[in-house]
Amino acid sequence: MKKPIFLLAAALLIGSGTKAESFVERKITQPNIIAHVELDPDEVIAKYIQAVGGIDKISKVKSAYVLTEADFQGTVIETIVKSDSENGRLKQETKVMGQVQQKMILKDGKGFVEMGGQTQDLPKEMFELSKSQMYVFPEPHYKELGLSMELRGIEKVEGEDSNVLILTLSNGMKTVEYYSVKSGLKLKSSSDAAGDILYSDYKEVAGVLYPHTITVVSPMLPFPLESKIKSIEFNKAFSEADFN
């Protein structure tokens, strides 16, 4: 049972948010495009920002505490994410039945992943690629984080027309994001390595919308795993001990 639990913890770390997969190498396949439109990628991001509450509101969100919970065949999995963009810190921790199975910490210009009693430092390049996770809403910062954006038409996501946005990092690694044509909200992110991550059940938190259900469809999992937010707090004051 131990090996499946570690695989599950890894999958949850990948899917714990819109960003946690960034240090995994990707081999993006061509999306199943059903239509082509002439849009600027910046327009898609701008529509998303407006949909979740507007740039003025989300720019005030400097930190967050997010607790999600999933049930894996009767096993309770908790993922706790503490993000602090103002001080350049992030901690993601996965617990299985109350016991810590793995964690990732970024701070002081470096990072590491701890899993199964082993600790591995993140190379500087991987740290740079993972920095977006420090932001609760990284989308307005894509360009300054070194991401280039390209639109690849429209594809259906859960029956909804979605703009397909290809994000390419400075080292060539890619991911795909899908934004609803109608609402502007982000519905999915995808990579061959991490699988699909679906975002749904958007609810208002401190005046902005945030997805409260995250579903991971990963090669590491035998079936889709649904995580729900149990607790969320924006602009939480963290101590140094919170990132140990």
The pair of three-digit structure tokens given for residue 192, joined into one six-digit string:
């061959």
Q: Which DSSP state fits 134? A: G
Dmax (CA) of the chain: 50
Q: What are phi and psi of 9, to 5 degrees?
A: -60, -40
- pLDDT given for residue 95 in this prediction: 96
Q: What is the pLDDT of residues 37-80, one digit of tens each?
A: 547 999 999 999 999 999 999 999 999 999 999 999 899 999 99
Separation of alpha carbons 46 and 123, rounded Å: 32
Q: Compute the distance between CA of residue 66 and CA of residue 135 in angstroms, rounded to an integer.
A: 13
Q: What is the mean pLDDT of the chain?
A: 86
Residue type, 43: E
In the predicted model, is pLDDT for residue 11 greater than 90? no
Q: Tell me the pLDDT tens digit for each residue of 101-119.
A: 999 999 999 999 999 889 9
Q: What are phi and psi of 111, to 5 degrees?
A: -155, 165
Stretch 199-224: mean pLDDT, rounded? Answer: 95
The tens digit of pLDDT for each residue in 120-149 reads 998 877 787 788 899 999 999 999 999 999
**pLDDT tier for residue 170 given thresholds of 50, 70 and 90:** confident
| Residues in Cβ contact with 7 at an 8 Å cutoff, skipping those fewer than 6 apart | 220, 221
Q: Are 189 and 176 in contact (CB under 8 A)?
A: yes
The full DSSP string for 140-175 is GGTTTTT-EEEEEEEEEETTEEEEEEEEE-TTS-EE
Domains and CATH numbers, the chain: 2-243 (2.50.20.10)
Please check the confidence at residue 36 and state whether its pLDDT lies above 90. no
46 φ/ψ sector (left φ>0, alpha ψ -120 to 50, else beta): alpha
| Count of all residues that appear for the chain in the document | 244
Percentage of residues in the chain with pLDDT exceeding 70?
A: 83
